[in-house]
Amino acid sequence: MRLSPSATLPAVLAVCLLFCLPAHGKTAMNKRARDLSALLVAPRMSKKPKGSDFEKTAARLVNIISALDDSYRSNGPDPDDLLTTAFSFREDVGDYERMVTSRALVDAWQMARNLGLFDKEGIFQSEISLGSEKGQMAVIEYIVPPSVQPEFSAHHANLRIVPPNQQRQSDELNDAEKAIQDQLVATMDERRKLAALHAIENPPELNEVGRTPDQEKAYWKQKVAEAGDNFEKEPKIILEARVTATPSHMSKNRWRVTAEITNLSHHPTEVTLEYHLLGISAKKNQHFILKTDRPTVQLLNGQEKGIDLWTAASSKYKDKVIMIDGLTGKEAKNPKYSFRGYAIRVEHEGKTVATYASDRRLMSYLEEDNDGVKLSSLP
């Protein structure tokens, strides 16, 4: 794989952003390291390279070695120490990959210095200013070309800087390059092991019957298919509810009502849980809506689900209470209201199959023959 100097470094430099600022002391080192760590993200490894991989990775390489040189010139940490600290902020990069990457980055930085690619202000440039190739354009190229190992097309540890007389002439690897290829392959193995360990240490969240969300979804589809036409039948539902949290630091100043819905049918069902959480103003004793919604609930036969229904934070309703009670002046500075209760209904195919409310007054809101105030009319 041949990379033309005129087609590589100038294009890379056009997208590079040099970000390091002079800094001193331990705090400054940590800032340098944190800034650098943002560029040391574990690169994507894929057998299908993207056309933009080289340009983006080369630009990242230039930014990294520029940060290393800035630290070196300003009496900051040397490149090895700075990279060690920067990688300490990256939990997504394993120890072996850190070592391989650090070695490659330090080598690239050292070559850039040997070729005089940093000007007097420390700005990276493509023209060589030192050595026998002075005046020529340096080249950034793959160590292991994507045609040989596509997984490393976006890895900054797979790039090097060379003078034009050392530019690769074919994709065939020499012994040194094969050794680096082996190291890069080992980083893939390390990633697989770390991913397996992470899966063990952080198992997927299970529901009350020990299934993951994906497993539960598959099981639901299976049971619906087995139920056939019975799935469309009206279910027998038991609905209950109670207040399970009041405004506090733990509840983020919200009320919570937990609705418990049970499917007593011999088939799975899908229903709509329509709920209304209500407040009451202190001055006019006017009911008003704190929260209303209509989530869909899937229930296997015999299954009971507890569903938490939350209001917004109690302070969010002040303007509504001021409007409802017509408060002005001092009264408007401290509007008062209380949590009144809840009215909940379960619907199947548009038909009410269960209702529950905190008292008879609020239950009347759910009655179809209610001639009084409707829920839809409440503010």
pLDDT of the residue at 209: 65
- Model confidence pLDDT, tens digit, residues 320-369: 999 999 999 999 999 999 999 999 999 999 999 999 999 999 999 998 77
Given a cut of 80, whether residue 4 has pLDDT beyond it is no
- Model confidence pLDDT, tens digit, residues 213-264: 888 889 999 999 999 999 999 999 999 999 999 999 999 999 999 999 999 9
Which one is predicted more confidently, 195 or 344?
Answer: 344
pLDDT of the residue at 36: 92
> What is the CB neighbour count within 10 angstroms for residue 346?
25
Cα dihedral 72, 75, 80, 82 sign: negative
pLDDT of the residue at 5: 38
pTM value? 0.54
Question: What share of the chain has pLDDT > 90, as a percent?
Answer: 74
Q: From its phi and psi, is residue 350 left (phi > 0), alpha (psi between -120 and 50) or beta?
A: left
Model confidence band, residue 23 (pLDDT cutoffs 50, 70, 90): very low
pLDDT of the residue at 7: 44
CA angle 310/313/318 to nearest 5° reads 125
Given a cut of 50, whether residue 170 has pLDDT beyond it is yes
Task: Sketch out the chain's domains with CATH numbers.
Answer: 5-201 (no CATH), 227-377 (2.60.40.10)
Instruction: With residue 197 as reference, give the H or E element that holds it.
Output: helix 175-201
Model confidence band, residue 3 (pLDDT cutoffs 50, 70, 90): very low
- Model confidence pLDDT, tens digit, residues 103-135: 999 999 999 999 999 998 899 999 999 999 999
- Model confidence pLDDT, tens digit, residues 135-159: 999 999 999 999 999 999 999 999 9
Which one is predicted more confidently, 21 or 61?
Answer: 61
Residue with tokens 């499917």: 263
d(C-alpha 149, C-alpha 52), whole Å = 16
Q: What is the distance between the terminal CA atoms of the chain, rounded to a whole angstrom? A: 70
Given a cut of 50, whether residue 20 has pLDDT beyond it is no
Model confidence band, residue 22 (pLDDT cutoffs 50, 70, 90): very low
Instruction: Please provide the size of the chain in residues.
Output: 379
- 256: nearest Cα among 312, 201, 216: 312
pLDDT of the residue at 289: 96
